Amino acid sequence: MRICPSFAGTLDTAVRVSGDLEVEEISEFGVQQLFSKAPDIQRKLSELNIDDRIQVFEEMGKIWEERLRKGQLDALKMTLSESTGYSDSLIEQELSLVCSVFDGESLRRSLEASLGNTETLCKFVEISRGEYKRYFPAGPVFIISSGNSLIPPLIPTTISLLTGNMTILRPSISNYNGVIEVYNILRTMNSEKAKLMSEGLAISYFTHDSPTLKYLLTKARVGVVNFWGGDPARLEVSKLVSENPHRPRLIVNGPLTGFVIVDEDSVDEMVADGLAKNVVLYDQQLCSSPTSAVFIGSFEKAKEFANHMVASLNKYGSIFKTKLSEGQIYLIQSARRIFQIKGSLVYSSNDPQNMWTLVLSKGKRVLDEVVSTVTGFNIYFRRRFIEIVVVDNWHDAPTFIKELPYSKAFRGVDKVQTVGLAVSDKIKQDILEDLVNCGVYRIVPVADMYLRSPLEPYDGLNIPSSFTYIVYMRDRALDFNVS
């Protein structure tokens, strides 16, 4: 398999071989070529008004939508299904969501939520009498993205270009072809604005031992490094960036997970359906995917809730099919048996294309004991699996969130990112206060935990402000007397 880079113009490249993968990547000299143009490109991008910048991406979205409608992306759908392991149906949904990334109103609202007045990207704007601010690109920006979905790499890359940065994107192998297909649209557009955006973007895969990757992190005049992923890669990237004499800003989006809290006064078939849908979608590989839950109330009510989930797990699982090996199936069956031995109630499917597992446990998380016994049943292996712990008191719920990063079952996860919440009004405010103190980043309805509003920060940070810096200007003297 050969992986080739995508960029405007001609840059020097080098070919590297890793296993059966042949990678043509930008060379160190190629990066130097690219970065020599960065000041001029970033200046020109910053001179574009924000409407013109957004219009480029709106047009990209329309072209993508038309190609999708005409079936021109069917081959890509098959390729991505094979490389990611996701079903054709899920990849089809992913491809349809690309248009939402380039929605003009969403992009504008995202910028406004982070920067306030978007005109600050183009000129000094008065914020108080005689005081002004302007946002300047902090780049070049180097993005090392994750491979659990096609959409996450598109968001920071698009925001980086929108905020005027020269941008290098290193996608994952699993979603590489999709990312290239999306941004190649930019290469084919005829407008001068699109051409300028294209000149500001380079996409290249780098092997883990790539000299160019090391150069980018340790020596290149990069302004921001945005890394998506966990250890040990995160530790290595952090170490290398610390050696860079240009002191780039390091933005890390680490491994996080989702959690659900429901109570017996608020649950219904819609909440159960929403939780089941989010368990099936992306096989729980998103940072927002629910991988653990608490039910506040009686065990009988919890069983009613579980029975509603069973129907929905079968429904969504039949749409978004998965593939498991015999070894994976054996591991799942072993884990199920131990849960039963430990006294948990296990609901399950033995359909190898939709092998979901739902566990009800009383008062404590049994999963830690199972993981200690069944080697390999870790957070990355567990798919379409969720344990719901039934508790009597809502005060117990936040404790599970605080303890999650330190449990054996969630080793490798930093903490809970997203909480899907469905509780009664009488306890909601108290729980919200506790959740804030737990350090979670998102609290949303259970039904659409996987979806994001344009107004949302990412893991507690606004991407537009992370990719820019503020220049403050004052043209009046302050009233201050020195006696």
pLDDT digits (tens, 9 = 90+) for 265-319: 998 999 999 999 999 999 999 999 999 999 999 999 999 999 999 999 999 999 9
Per DSSP, helices labelled H in 320-362 are 326-341
pLDDT at 183: 96
Residue 444 has pLDDT above 90, yes or no: yes
* Mean pLDDT computed over every residue of the chain: 94
CA dist 408 → 131, 136, 235, 285, 344 (Å): 53, 44, 20, 18, 18
* CA angle, residues 136, 141, 146, in degrees to nearest 5: 135
Residue 17 has pLDDT above 80, yes or no: no
Let me know: does 416 contact 390? Beta carbons within 8 Å.
Answer: no
Name every residue whose Cβ is closer than 8 Å to that of residue 12 and which is 6 or more positions away in sequence: 26, 27, 29, 30, 33
pLDDT at 1: 60
- Mean local confidence (pLDDT), 373-395: 95
pLDDT digits (tens, 9 = 90+) for 67-117: 999 999 999 999 999 988 899 999 999 999 999 999 999 999 999 999 999
Residue 479 has pLDDT above 70, yes or no: yes
Q: Is the CA virtual torsion 205, 206, 212, 215 positive or negative?
A: positive
Dist. CA 275–CA 390, nearest whole Å: 16
pLDDT digits (tens, 9 = 90+) for 329-347: 999 999 999 999 999 999 9
